[in-house]
Amino acid sequence: MRIIGQHADLRAARRDWHEEGRSVGLVPTMGALHEGHLALVRRARAACGRVAVSLFVNPTQFGPNEDLARYPRSPEEDMRLLGAEGVDLLYMPADGDMYEKDASTTVHVGGITDHLCGPFRPGHFDGVATVVAKLLLRVMPDAACFGEKDWQQLQVIRRLARDLDIPARIIGVPVVREADGLALSSRNRYLPQEERAKAVLISQNLKHAAESIRAAPGNIGRVLAGGRENLEKAGFRVDYFECADAESCAPARDLARPARLFAAARLGSTRLIDNWPV
Ligand code: AMP
């Protein structure tokens, strides 16, 4: 596995692969890798001849009161895991390699970002969209893989690639879960044992609510209120427990179009998100 810190070298590697006629798959990550990330790597490997992974804890997608400083970092272990997966190239931008000091361009995807996490994390999706656009332009992959764990983010990225004519195929990869149903997340490492035991209530309530809505689609509002209340009673601070259009992420109160359930809730100082098909 080649490890690259400068984007000029990344471009050169990309050009060599292109000349060899290899297709390229990209997997953007913030590191602290787990089986969810590795599922993306395997999907990229299945779709493309060469796999590049980026590892960058992107400061612009964290708010001033968020967890940038304590975001988990385990680069040695990440390199070991990616090497074992047969990843061809790991791009870990050196200091200063990602953003120009006086960078003044931001990618804003409207509409989708008005909902769900958008209002709770001002600026977050602009940070994500800008860094992902830069990574897609630096690597020019044939395909790029993103997890359905961050469903709204996946819709934002599909939209930005479409609207900016970025010719990569955006592949969504199903959520990888622990045996009890908790969605794998780098942030799960923050959870003390007692909170880890409670965290499973998010996926359990989403699953239960999805079943209730399927059985009685006229009761969506009541089911959502029930899901929120269950989490609050267990000690979560709930940002949202919502049924939303699977593409626009706008609230949905019927099943006229494909919809999903989404939850974001805080346990102690950790914010967890998950989603479930209806
Ligand atoms: P992150 O490092 O948290 O920014 O995540 C990098 C990529 O991995 C994103 O596309 C995430 O959606 C994806 N991802 C994170 N956790 C999971 C999971 N449990 N299942 C599937 N994909 C995931």
**How confident is the model over 219-226, as a mean pLDDT?**
97
C-alpha 105 to ligand 1 mean position (Å): 26
**How confident is the model over 139-160, as a mean pLDDT?**
98
Q: Quote the CA–CA distance of 246 and 144 in Å, as a whole number.
A: 20
C-alpha 177 to ligand 1 mean position (Å): 11
Q: Quote the CA–CA distance of 234 and 220 in Å, as a whole number.
A: 22
**How confident is the model over 50-55, as a mean pLDDT?**
98
Tokens standing for residue 240 = 């949202």
Best residue for ligand 1 mutational test, from 29, 158, 273 (most atoms within 8 Å of Cβ): 29
Residue nearest to atom 6 of ligand 1 (CA): 29
Tokens standing for residue 171 = 């592949």
Percent of residues, the chain, with pLDDT higher than 70: 100
Q: Quote the CA–CA distance of 204 and 219 in Å, as a whole number.
A: 19
Q: What angle do CA 58, 42, 94 make, to 5 degrees?
A: 30
- pLDDT band of residue 158 (cuts 50, 70, 90) is very high
3-class SS at 93? coil
Q: Contact at 8 Å (CB) between 141 and 165?
A: no
Q: Quote the CA–CA distance of 249 and 177 in Å, as a whole number.
A: 22
Q: Which helix (H) or strand (E) holds 163?
A: helix 151-163
Residue 205: which of 178, 186, 225 has the closest Cα? 225
- Which pLDDT score, from 0 to 100, does residue 182 have? 98
- Which pLDDT score, from 0 to 100, does residue 262 have? 98
Q: Contact at 8 Å (CB) between 232 and 255?
A: no
25 forms bridges with which residues in the sheet? 51, 143
- Give Cα separations from 63 to 1, 38, 68, 153 (angstroms): 33, 27, 8, 16
- Which pLDDT score, from 0 to 100, does residue 217 have? 93
Q: Which residues line ligand 1 (CB under 6 A)?
A: 29-30, 36-37, 39-40, 146-147, 149-150, 173, 175-176, 183-186
> Does the annotation mark 115 as catalytic?
no
**How many residues does the structure list for the chain?**
278
**How confident is the model over 141-155, as a mean pLDDT?**
98
- pLDDT band of residue 5 (cuts 50, 70, 90) is very high
**How confident is the model over 126-145, as a mean pLDDT?**
98
Q: Quote the CA–CA distance of 152 and 112 in Å, as a whole number.
A: 7
- Selecting among 7, 37, 115, 124, the annotated active-site residue is 37
Residue 37: which of 48, 47, 26 has the closest Cα? 26
- pLDDT band of residue 240 (cuts 50, 70, 90) is very high
- pLDDT band of residue 117 (cuts 50, 70, 90) is very high
